[in-house]
Amino acid sequence: MELYNLSIRKAHELLVKKQISSVELTSAVLANIHRLDPKIRAYLTVVEQRALEQARKADIRLHSRENITPLTGIPYAVKDCFSTRGIRTTCGSKILQDYIPQYSASVVEKLNNAGAVLLGKHNMDEFGMGSSCENSAFFNTHNPWNLERVPGGSSGGSAASVSAGLSLFAIGEDTGGSIRMPAGFCNIVGLKPTYGRVSRYGHIALVSSFDSVGPLTQDVYDCATVLQTIAGKDPKDGTSLPDPVPIYTTSLEKSINGLRLGIPREYFQAGMEAGVETVLQDAIRVFEKLGMQVQEVSLPHTRAALPVYYLILFAEASANLARFDGTRFGYSTNQKVESVIDLILQTRQEGFGEEVKRRIMLGAYTLSAGYYDAYYLKAQKVRSLIREDFRSAFEKCDVLLAPTCPTTAFKIGEKKQDPLTMYLSDIFVVATNLAGVPALSLPCGFSEGLPVGMQLIGNHLSEEILFQIGYAYQAETEWHNMHPLIT
């Protein structure tokens, strides 16, 4: 196997045995970026010399055998919504195209302290607003399994990168499926942790009450490895949880025999592609073979999840994006203006893309006088009902199984002109963000040559059991070991 296709676990083993060096590993990945990224376009920024310097420092650390972690010397990259000191951070937007932060996000600092090697920043839908990575202000990212298809969004660059061997893992952010959908489309593992399990400090917010930071990896073991490094209380983020972080990898091989697997009836109804449903039913049979007790459950407010999610998203996003006004940092118009108000209006008109403008306008409308109670407040009340649905379901079962997406990856441009059709791609992923519970997407097969992902959804802070069940599934299947052939 090529070095750039190694799992974190295997690469760590070779590094500590001195069979490879971090410089060799990082150089192999960088060479693969040079070879393939002109076709895939996963990266907005590559910091090659900085990465090689970090790799040299990691090799010194590995040679001394002091302070070695499972991620020491492992090359990775982050979605471009995380602040990185001295490295351009754009959020996929023209309005931040030349912004260079003076500090790094907590998740980046933790990985730096662990000795991981930062390769660069991944492309994304502008400010996380999209399901296909077509809303970047710079260029589209392509799915490694079929270059005419989308990789999913908004962490599309991150998923495509891990799938194609352009980074051994990536850090993404999930507001309403933005880690899990691209993971499903690109045949990798992606985790949306419990809200607050990972610090959001230094992440450029989209929807503060939804945003969750998580890993994208080749397999479940690697996902557990990364989460135990980046999770935990952060005094810089008041929403981060104080609960102790388990060493997730030590419990992966526990038997799942007797655990209860819930199948939400609302997730297996009309609208799902036949090939996707066939693959999901095959996966359920694998869990039955492993001794899990499969039962149907109901999440009765599922039909309301998508409109509730988007109403709250529009409102919070319009408030969060108000800071980008051309007066403090980021892009500012070059047009002649007569007042500060004109400056702000012209800057935002030129700097934001169409989807961002659409969502800002809808958000401002839902928060305006006379409409707040009818839309935003009502959506928050229904959000409480959705949380209660999950609480009731987890009284009957240990974990839920659902499709990640109702379809496989669609063609680039296929849904770009129809925002409502694009929003429907999120139908199976947004409810977990409303409820704040964790969800793990992992590969479970192919339909007409394209990857299919499934979600394992758990109760609050149940990442450990999600990893156990996902690991047991991957011990029985080979889907996660398949790599795209890119010519």
Catalytic sites, residue numbers: 79, 154, 178
CA distances from 423 to 127, 189, 417, 418 (A): 16, 22, 12, 9
Structure tokens at 24: 């060799």
Contact in structure between 136 and 126 (CB atoms under 8 Å):
yes
Q: Are strands 450-458 and 43-46 parallel, antiparallel or unpaired?
A: unpaired
| DSSP per-residue codes, 86-141 | TB---TT-GGGTT---SS--HHHHHHHHTT-EEEEEE--SGGG--SSS---SS---
Q: Scanning the structure block, which residue is given the tokens 């090799």?
A: 59
Question: What is d(CA 179, CA 157) in angstroms, rounded to the nearest whole number?
Answer: 10
Contact in structure between 289 and 177 (CB atoms under 8 Å):
no
Structure tokens at 73: 């010397």
Cα separation of the two ends of the chain: 17
Structure tokens at 129: 């607003």
**Relative orientation angle of helices 106-113 and 220-230, to the nearest 10 degrees:** 110
Q: Are strands 169-174 and 212-217 parallel, antiparallel or unpaired?
A: antiparallel
